[in-house]
Amino acid sequence: MAASSLRVLGIDPGLTRCGVGIVDVDRSRRANLVHVGVIRTPSDAPIGERLAAVAEGIRAVLGQHGPDAVAVERVFAQHNSHTVMGTAQASGIALLLAAEAGLPAATHTPSEVKAAVTGYGSADKKQVQAMIARILRLDAPPQPADAADALAIALCHAWRRGASAPGGGASLTPAQRAWADAERVART
């Protein structure tokens, strides 16, 4: 990794499937894939065992790849309270592990992440997967969608952090430009 790159671990929290993706993003906002995967736990296992398995998987990725920051998809209200509870618990584990590792951590909403990578905050999963493949110059979209979502979260975080730095508005992709414009409108 070049000294001017930012390495971000993106986490799409979940108990059954927890997406993890790491990207290196340089000052020109060019991104390179470092790692992508999914931590899986059986739905019939006790909750404590499932959370421990998610923690173990995240710890392994942190230890193996040494990210500079962690970004987690922000939990939003769903109709299925059982699903949102598991997602919130996995999110808490991810944020705790980032704090224990001394890494800055942030959360990003699903629409914020979609807007960052596609230019459209209501993009569907296939659109996000296609853009991730294009941005990272991959032969095929990452599978399953949780893996692509983790990479999208990491990219969103890296680009947002870069956009707040002096001169960070230079060399934006059209999707990034659309997102930045939407952010400015939302702030006013």
Active site residue: 12, 24, 112, 149, which one?
12
- The yes-or-no answer on residue 12 being catalytic is yes
- The yes-or-no answer on residue 73 being catalytic is yes
As a three-state string, the secondary structure of the chain is: CCCCCEEEEEEECCCCEEEEEEEEECCCCCEEEEEEEEEECCCCCCHHHHHHHHHHHHHHHHHHHCCCEEEEECCCCCCCHHHHHHHHHHHHHHHHHHHHCCCCEEEECHHHHHHHHHCCCCCCHHHHHHHHHHHCCCCCCCCCHHHHHHHHHHHHHHHHHHHCCCCCCCCCCHHHHHHHHHHHHHHC
- The yes-or-no answer on residue 26 being catalytic is no
Active site residue: 24, 26, 56, 73, which one?
73
Active site residue: 24, 112, 146, 149, which one?
146
From the annotation, which residues make up the binding site? 12, 73, 146
From the annotation, which residues make up the binding site for Mg(2+)? 12, 73, 146
Active site residues: 12, 73, 146
